[in-house]
């Protein structure tokens, strides 16, 4: 999957479409998912044009990687799910059923999330 500059998260980063922003750093941005699957459902994305975790881990600078990882942890604290626990999820590529081709980590919590496996019934 190649990077598409017109993907929805690129548009959010450019301010072309609105979002419910939670947190922002030099290299990361977090906003609430438009279709939440839990009381807390926030997406954390790097600001750089990376499609996947493989892409990001190979091409991003150490500063970007550190900033992004810290942002994920910070968002969990900001959203109040750190103490009771939460789930991080990154859907990657076709088999991972990634809908938006810009790397993103879902931070979900605020309730008991049940067993992560088997995965949901999402099949396409």
Binding site for ligand 5GP (CB under 6 A): 8, 19, 31-35, 91, 97-100
Question: Is 104 an annotated catalytic residue?
Answer: yes
Of the candidates 102, 104, 106, 112, the residue annotated as catalytic is 104
Nearer to ligand 5GP, 33 or 67 (CB): 33
CB atoms within 10 A of CB 53: 14
Q: Across-strand partners of 109?
A: 40, 86
CB of 50 to ligand 5GP, least distance (A): 13
C-alpha 23/C-alpha 8 separation (Å) is 18
Helix (H, G, I), strand (E, B) or coil at 45: strand
Q: What residues act catalytically? A: 104
């Amino acid at each position: 999957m190649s990077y598409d500059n017109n993907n929805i998260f690129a548009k959010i980063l450019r301010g072309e479409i609105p979002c419910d922003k939670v947190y922002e750093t030099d290299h990361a941005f977090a906003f609430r998912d438009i279709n939440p699957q839990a009381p807390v459902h926030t997406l954390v994305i790097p600001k750089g044009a990376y499609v996947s975790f493989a892409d990001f881990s190979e091409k991003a600078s150490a500063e970007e990687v550190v900033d992004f990882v810290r942002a994920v942890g910070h968002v969990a604290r900001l959203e109040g799910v750190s103490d009771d626990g939460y789930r991080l999820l990154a859907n990657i590529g076709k088999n991972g059923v990634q809908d938006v081709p810009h790397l993103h980590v879902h931070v979900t919590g605020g309730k008991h999330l049940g067993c992560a496996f088997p995965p949901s019934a999402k099949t396409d």
